[in-house]
Amino acid sequence: MDLQQNLRKYAELILKVGLNIQPGDNILLRLDEHGLPLAREIARQAYALGVHQIYPVFSDDALTLARFELAPDAAFDEYPAFFTDFTEGAYLSNFHLLSLSATNPELLKEVDPGRISRWQKVTSIAGERVMKYVMENRVKWSIAALPSPAWAKAVFPQLGEQAAMERLWASIFHVTRVDQDDPVAAWTAHEQQLRAHEELLNGYAFDKLLFEGPGTDLEVYLPEGHRWMGGSSVSPKGERFMPNIPTEEVFTMPHAYRVNGTLAATMPLSTRGRLIEGMRFTFRDGAVVDYAATAGQEILKDILETDEGARRLGEVALVAHDSPISQTGLLFKNTLFDENASCHVALGSAYAENHVRGKEMSPDEKKQAGMNHSITHVDFMVGGPSLNVTGVQKDGSRVPLLVNGRWVI
């Protein structure tokens, strides 16, 4: 594997497909030390494409861990307002968000979960003002992943660090289509396939979806005016961009107050530097009324108690079990990848783009329409080879969508 050549192709994919960079754009770049080689290649190509400014926002696992372990207790109850002011100012100055994710799935596994919960809630409340820029696609935004030693070892524990890094890079390049001769052309074809599913599902205008599988028997109503989306999103200027690289999903908005039944997660969820495993939920009138987890239940409890909307669904996504990511046979322990190996749902806020009037409605109108609102949005995986998904039309007719985890439309 020629790492440098693939980094150049990856950077080109991120800029031309992920952010769809146009002359005069600026980039707010989130990264850590593992992202520097890729970020430097992105900078060279971005400026050549006409970008004016790239502003890096740097993080570091060791700095983060030190704070959670050693900072005074009061440090987790206040979020400096100028952080939010800066982010909003950047968005208003034609900066678009690029996040290079080099995750450590269990960075905070030994940390007091109370500190994690308090800080997550403080940052979510403080960030609500700028969350709408991403949730409503007011700016272009994209997330792309790269290996860290900790992540590579978590995925390939049997390998040494260098070999694990090489295997994870190879896996990332494969599922993002970077290992193909022309990744940008490959993504253009992939986008067309996703949009074909999107158009087909929108044509049905389903009243509800039925999810059936081991531990899962769930009825999910869809709001009037719901819209399926797949692949790219559209900025206010009409520019298409790809929020997630990779992506295999077609997703829509569930009705926040009309979800009933049981739901079992089929993969662990890596969040807040911890792993949550064996999640099970019972929904009544849209809300989680009972839940359990075999590991990380205290983190799950904190997520559900973030606010009232955190107990309701804001997204439901269909992904075939035979997607390229699923075919790797890997548990990536990274939601960006694992959610694209499996059907998934999200607790928390809905995306405005999933309703035909989502960006026009007032908060009261959104609530009446069934659009969930929350300061959080947490995806978890519910699909696999034993999941069946059926769409039910208003006249009661049923349309099988996924049988044994695979598309049948």
Same domain, 213 and 93: no
Does one domain contain both 146 and 14? yes
Averaged pLDDT, 43-51: 98
Compute the average pLDDT of residues 19-29.
98
Q: Please tell me whether residues 61 and 77 are part of one structural domain.
A: yes
Retrieve residue 122's tokens. Answer: 């403080």
Task: Answer yes or no: are the C-beta atoms of 224 and 258 closer than 8 Å.
Answer: no
Q: Which of 129, 152, 175 is the last residue of a domain?
A: 175
**Span 92-105, mean pLDDT?**
95
For residues 168 and 191, membership in a common domain is answered with no
Is residue 56 very low, low, confident or very high in pLDDT (cuts 50, 70, 90)?
very high
Q: Which of 231, 195, 160 is nearest to 18 (CA)?
A: 231
Instruction: Read off the pLDDT of residues 190-211 as tens digits, 9 standing for 90 and up.
Output: 999 999 999 999 999 999 999 9
Q: Domain range holding 268?
A: 183-407
203 with 170, same domain: the answer is: no
Please state, in angstroms and rounded to a whole number, the distance separating the CA atoms of residues 307 and 299: 14
Q: How far is CA 351 from CA 110, 125, 358, 364, in A?
A: 33, 18, 8, 16
> What local confidence, expressed as pLDDT, does residue 103 receive?
87
187 plus 323 within the same structural domain: yes
Same domain, 18 and 112: yes
Same domain, 170 and 192: no
Bridge partners (DSSP) of residue 276 are: 269
Does pLDDT of 49 surpass 80?
yes
Please write the tens of the pLDDT for every residue from 353-376: 999 998 889 999 999 999 999 999
227 plus 361 within the same structural domain: yes
pLDDT per residue as tens digits for the range 121-133 = 899 899 999 999 9
Identify each DSSP E strand in 59-213 by its residue range.
95-101, 141-145, 208-213
**Residue 72 corresponds to which amino acid?**
P
Number of H helices, E strands in the chain: 12, 22
Would the pLDDT of 236 be above 80?
yes
Among 273, 265, 306, smallest CA distance to 118 is for: 306
Peptide bond into 246 cis (omega under 30): yes
Residue 342 pLDDT > 90: no
Is pLDDT at 1 greater than 80 in this prediction?
Answer: no
Pick the last residue of a domain from 158, 175, 192: 175
390 Cα distance to chain centroid: 24
**Tokens 């494409």, residue?**
49
Mean pLDDT, the chain, whole residue set: 95
- Boundary residue ending a domain (151, 175, 199): 175
The CATH number for 142's domain is 3.40.1830.10
pLDDT of residue 279: 98
Same domain, 193 and 342: yes
Q: What is the mean pLDDT of residues 69-75?
A: 96
Q: Are residues 32 and 118 in the same domain?
A: yes
Tokens found for residue 348: 């928390």
- Sequence-distant (6+) residues with CB within 8 A of 384 are 213, 266, 321, 342, 343, 405
Statement to judge: residues 199 and 121 lie in one domain: no
Instruction: Determine the residue type at 65.
Output: L
Domain count, the chain: 2
What percent of the chain has pLDDT above 90?
Answer: 89
